[in-house]
Chains A and B, each alone.
Chain A
Amino acid sequence: MKRHLSTEQLSSFLDEEAGHAEVREVEGHLASCPYCRSRLSSMRRLVVEIRRMERAAPPPDLGYQVKAQVVAQGEVRSFERRVRDFFRSLVFDPSLRAASAMGLTAVLVGGFLVWQSVPPVPPPHGRTEIVKVSTTFGEPPLGLPETTSEVAGREFVWSGDRWVQKGLEWKQPDSRVMLASPEGQAMISRYSDLMLLLTDGSRVVMRYRLGTVELSKG
């Protein structure tokens, strides 16, 4: 009894990805098997339908957003590189090696003396207490310290001198963005509710895409 072709055979034959021997075998089988011809035809119809699906065009401002992120990341990397180069020069530059060794010793001795002279501070009881108060959405967060939930679809907490997205309270921002800059404007146009937090002149730290960004007015 003749076996029908496998789906894999039909699929790779359709894609012209089958080897010569397999092509001959498939063509030979198809010539005498209406059932497999019909399966091939339905698979072909499916592929045509998939290929006819509209391609979506990226949002017009996507390129701008990507490039703004890349610029911010480039600045961070450039700073890191400068710091790394500086320390490398201290270690590898013979003219600076002696000076850097003396400097390091001075810092260590000074640090030790300062540490000795400072009275012990009782350990803090965990993190700064964060009072969580849900304010009515849509109103500026008056009467600090408070927190407001669901601003810009995220929960923010008041952390000393700024609003910080919940979960990021102790994280230093990776980059800073001024509200007046194009990047700041792009963020505000996307998360316009953030203006509620900024109305008191404070700063906002939020996770924006991959980075932790501090958004501030001035």
Chain B
Amino acid sequence: MGVATVSAVIHNLEVDVELAERHRCGDTQAFNEVYARFEEMVYNLAFRLSGNYEEAADLTQEIFLRIYRHLGSFGGRSSLKTWIFRIAVNHCRDRLSRWRPLTQPLGEDPGEGEVVYADPARGPEELAVAADEGRRVAEGLARLPPVFREAVVLRDIEGLSYEEIAEVLRVRIGTVRSRIARGRDQLRALLEIRP
């Protein structure tokens, strides 16, 4: 990691810790800033792990309530992003293990006006093709064992590094590497992408 990168990381950590400090001191704007920064990320993670739009909205609410309760105790030992991902993954795991398996096929049209896709600039034809491919991949993802799904989602959808994933899941980097590889391999087989 270069010097510039290190100083950027330290600066970001300082910003994160300051946000937590402001929250601790009762500054309501601090939580609003956290929400604005991470809402989309948490919602998408919850959606990919639960496979259900409505469930994802409920999970997102609950996750942010947890964040609100514990933000004051964030000490900057990891980045706020990693910390939030950890809360989100743990909460989804906890809730989804007690609830039912995925019931709504992933990528299915969630109903009128419920979901706005993030990229409205794409044309209808392109969107339709992308939606078809996306549905197939999403259905495959939903069939992966949860530990592999988490690893693949964090890496390939959320773009976390192996080190960050290890922090989020509280496992060793070797385990992350193995879960991503096995998850991809199973997904490739499910989607019948042949070498």
Contact = CB atoms under 8 A, between A and B. Distances in A.
A8 to B, nearest CB: 4
Interface in A91-143: none
B7 interface: no
Contact of A62 (B43, B134, B182): B43
Contact of A54 (B117, B177, B194): B117
A10 interface: yes
A41 to B, nearest CB: 8
A15 interface: yes
Contacts of A52: 130, 133-134
Contact of A42 (B47, B53, B162, B194): B194
B157 A51 contact: yes
Contacts of B178: 8
A11 B119 CA distance: 29
Contacts of A7: 181-182, 184-185
- By secondary structure, the A interface counts as helix
Contacts of B181: 6-8, 10-12
A57 B118 contact: yes
Interface in A1-44: 6-8, 10-12, 15, 17, 35, 38-39, 41-43
Given A55-B118, A56-B43, A70-B31, A49 B60 contact: no
Contacts of A35: 195
Contacts of B188: 42-43, 46
**Nearest 4 interchain pairs by C-beta:** A11-B181, A58-B43, A8-B181, A50-B156
A73 interface: yes
B64 interface: yes
B69 interface: yes
A138 B43 CA distance: 34
A171 interface: no
A65 B61 contact: yes
Contacts of B152: 50
Nearest to B188: A46
Interface residues of B, number: 54
A84 interface: no
A66 interface: yes
7 contacts: A7-B182, A8-B178, A12-B162, A39-B195, A50-B137, A53-B134, A54-B131
B123 to A, nearest CB: 14
A144 interface: no
Contacts of A41: 195
B193 A45 contact: yes
Interface stretch (B12-20, B32-40, B78-86): B32-40
Contact of B177 (A8, A43, A57, A65): A8
B45 to A, nearest CB: 10
Nearest to A12: B177
A218 interface: no
B104 interface: no
A17 B177 contact: yes
B157 A54 contact: no
Given A15-B155, A56-B44, A58-B57, A209 B62 contact: yes
B112 to A, nearest CB: 12
B180 interface: yes
A12 B35 CA distance: 32
Given A8-B181, A54-B118, A58-B43, A209 B156 contact: no
